[in-house]
Every structure is written in C-alpha cells, then in structure tokens.
Amino acid sequence: MDFSFTEEQRMWKDVVHNFMDNEFGRELTLKHDQSREFPEELYRKMAKEGWLGLLIPEDQGGLGMDKDPVMFAIFCEAIGKLSLDTAACIMTSMFTATNVAKHGTAEQRKKYLEPFLAGEAKFAISISEPQSGSDAAGARSTAKHDGDEWVVKGSKVWCSGAHHPNTCIAMMLRTGEGRYDFSVLLVPNDTPGLEIQKMDTLVRRSLGTTSLFMDDLRLSEGALLGEAGKGWKYIGEHLDFERLSIAASQIGNARTALHDTLTYLSEREAFGKKLVQFQVLKHRLAEDQARLSAAYYLVYAAASAMARGANATSLVSQAKLISSQTLFDIATNGMQALGGYSQLPEYHMERYFREAKHGMVGGGTNEILRSIIAKSMGL
C-alpha cells in the first residue's frame, strides 16, 4: 500500500507545521504548561484560519474534512508535535462539535456551532463517572422529565475543559433502565445547579480536567441532542476519529522527543567524545526510529482505511495502542539520555514523558484497545 502524500497533502502538512512553529512554538507551549493556562491565542488563530471547523460539513460553515481522515491526521500530527495537551485543547471541542453538527437542531447549531467556529465558544464531553471509567455503560447519573424540563442528578469526572468560559458540555446521562439507555444533553457550564471543580492533575495542564456535580440541575426540552435513548450511539460515532487524532498527535510528539534526544546526544561530550558516538546510545536511537516509523505507517494505514469507508475500528485501535507505547518508550529513553537535564521543564522532555503516560489512558485505555483488537480477531 502506498502511503505517500499527494501534492495537496504535502502542502497542507507544510502549512500546519509552519503555523505551529511560527504562531505558537516551544516557548509558548512551555509557558502555558507551567502556568496551567488555556492557549486562547492559538485557539482563536485557528478559528480565524477556519481550522476549528475541519470536521464540520461545508454547508454548516466548516471545511468538511470529516470526509478526508488523512488530511485530518496530518493536522493532528502537527498540532501535537510539542504537546499532546496543546493538541487536546483544540481537538476536544472539535469532536463534540461534530455531534452537534450531525444531530443538533437548527436552533442548537446556531446557538453553539456558530460561536464555536468563530473561536468564541468551546465544547467539552462528559462520559466518565467516579465508578465508571472504561465501563462507560455503568454510568449512573440521570436525566428525568419533570413537565417540560429535564432534571439532572449525579456526578461526572475527567471532563476536560468544562471550566472554561462559554463552554457547552455534551453530557451522557441515563434516561432509561437498560444498560445502554442513555441520552446526550447539551449543558452550558454556567447552568444553575452545576458545580465544576478543576482537578490538579499531572497532565492536562493547559486544557484542564474537572469533576462535575449536578444537584437538581434543570434544562429545557431543547437541551436534548438528537433523539432520547440514542446517546450511546452518538457518543460512539466519533471514537474512530478521536482515537486516530490521538495516535497522530502521539507520533508527532514522538518525532519531536526523538529529535530532541538526538540533538542533545550530538552536542554533549563525555569521556572525550560525543555521547551519540557510544554504540549503546546509537542502537537505542535506531530502535526508537524503527518503532516510530512503524507507528507512523500504522496511523496512516488506519486513516487511509477510514477514507475508503472501511470499518477501521480495529486498525485505529492498533494505531493508538502502538503510537502511545512508542511515544512513552521514546520519551523514557529521552529522559535517560538527558540525565539530570531531563528534569528541567525548559528541556521539554519531562513534558513529553508526563503526557505520554496519560496517552496510554485517555481516549480509551491500552487495555480496552487490546480488547477491541482481540474482538476483531474473533477472540
């Protein structure tokens, strides 16, 4: 299979990488990581370019790239090159926006999509609960009718980005007795009855993640996204795109981590020669490069399968599994190679290392991905 890019794809790759280098770069990435601030300037610049609407159909003001997963993977690889958290600041809103674009009413699209595309609003998605992470269908928070209103009770956790101003949360809530009887309600984060607590996590420093508490939170009938009882289906529709995006951002970050390691070893001397001249380090770098190449081709094989309309769930799961492990191993080797300097934020490696570990959990744990792959094998 030929994974070489078309001329359009090569140009797109250059555009997005140059944008990240020139409009954001290492220093701003470091600043936002250390201050735990959302990269608002980057978000608005991307909105100005129209890139927040990459996955939104053209007739709704977007660029319609949901039909071209390869182009989207190129984008995610570029925006994740310096930080998976930076990538998440952009991608998290984009996925929820696709749900609104696909299933929302004209009123919901006008209320939420238009300001999102302008860079003036954000989205968050809320699935996990304190007792249900990977077992998402074990969620207990409920939404029940009371006249012409929905009454929401319960708590959620790991809802990334929910605390930012003008954010709408797409919340999966139990509306029936069956295991998969869920609906999705659109909940503005300033709704009375909603308490949001930001969590002091090792990663997700720029985007931030939160716990949500709902005490008789009341919403109008118009908060329902699509049809009642179809929330499980709606949430699952974008998982392949989400996991592809994470895998692509991981290989982008892994390439940067490997580059930084090679640069350091090429400059640092010990025992009368450059560190890169020691065979043990050369072999380690060679192994890292081989694994990165394998992960890269797997990501674009998955993207190509999606572009053909094939069922790519297993392939996407394989791509995220291998990409996450590859990034973690490359970042771990980078930490070892840089020694004491790897502990300093200004060398960036400790950020790659921290975020790589989270990448093995967020968007589907590696254990869950293995189960998906095994199921596709008939196991």
Q: List pLDDT tens digits, range 322-373.
A: 999 999 999 999 999 999 999 999 999 999 999 999 999 988 899 999 999 9
Is 256 part of any domain? yes
Q: If pLDDT is split at 50, 70 and 90, which confidence band does 260 have?
A: very high
Residues 255 and 362 in one domain: yes
What is the H or E stretch that residue 304 is in?
helix 279-307
Within this chain, do residues 107 and 138 fall inside the same structural domain, yes or no? no
Residues 242 and 370 in one domain: yes
Cβ neighbourhood burial of 290 (10 Å; 0-12, 13-18, 19+)? exposed
pLDDT at residue 222, as a whole number:
95
Q: Which helix (H) or strand (E) holds 35?
A: helix 25-35
- The verdict on 331 and 278 lying in the same domain is yes
pLDDT at 163 over 80: yes
Give a yes or no: residue 277 inside a domain: yes
Q: Kindly report whether the global pTM for this prediction surpasses the value 0.85.
A: yes
Whether the pLDDT of residue 2 is over 80: the answer is: no
**Res 183 pLDDT > 70:** yes
- Compute the CA torsion angle 243, 248, 249, 255 (nearest 10 deg): 150
Q: Are residues 195 and 256 in the same domain?
A: no
The arithmetic mean of pLDDT across residues 117-139, rounded, is 94
Over residues 182-200, the mean pLDDT reads: 97
Contact by Cβ (8 Å): 199, 211: yes
* Shared domain check, 345 and 239: yes
Tell me, yes or no, whether 2 lies in a domain: no
Domain that holds residue 45: 7-120
Residue 67 has pLDDT above 90, yes or no: no
Domain count, the chain: 3
Nearest to 179 by CA among 214, 140, 143, 153: 140
* Residue 216 pLDDT: 86
- The CATH number covering residue 319 comes to 1.20.140.10
**Whether pLDDT at 100 is above 80:** yes
Residue 103 near residue 236, CB atoms below 8 Å: no
pLDDT of residue 106: 96
Over the stretch 274-292, which tens digit does the pLDDT of each residue have? 999 999 999 999 999 999 9
Residue burial 319-357, b: 16+ Cβ < 10 Å; e: rest: bbbbbbbbbbbbbbbbbebbeeebeeeebbbbbbbbbbe
What is the four-CA torsion angle of 167, 61, 246, 8, rounded to 10 degrees?
A: -150
From the list 237, 85, 238, 215, the residue with the least C-alpha distance to 161 is 85
Q: Is the pLDDT of residue 140 over 80?
A: yes
What pLDDT, on a 0 to 100 scale, did the predictor assign at position 300? 96
* DSSP symbols for 79-132: HTSS-HHHHHHHHHHHHHHHHHHHH--HHHIIIIIHHHHTTS-EEEEE--BTTB
Q: How much is the average pLDDT of 115-124?
A: 97
Q: Is the pLDDT of residue 1 over 80?
A: no
Judgement on whether residues 82 and 128 belong to the same structural domain of the protein: no
Residues with Cβ < 8 Å from 91, sequence gap 6 or more?
76, 79, 242, 245, 246, 249
List alpha helices for 148-270, DSSP H: 231-237, 239-267
Please check whether residue 181 lies inside any domain of the structure: yes
Last residue of one domain, picked from the residues 213, 232, 251: 232
What sign does the dihedral 355-359-363-368 (CA atoms) show? Answer: negative
- The mean predicted confidence, pLDDT, of the chain is 96
Q: How far apart are CA 307 and CA 301, in angstroms?
A: 10
Domain boundary among 120, 138, 158: 120
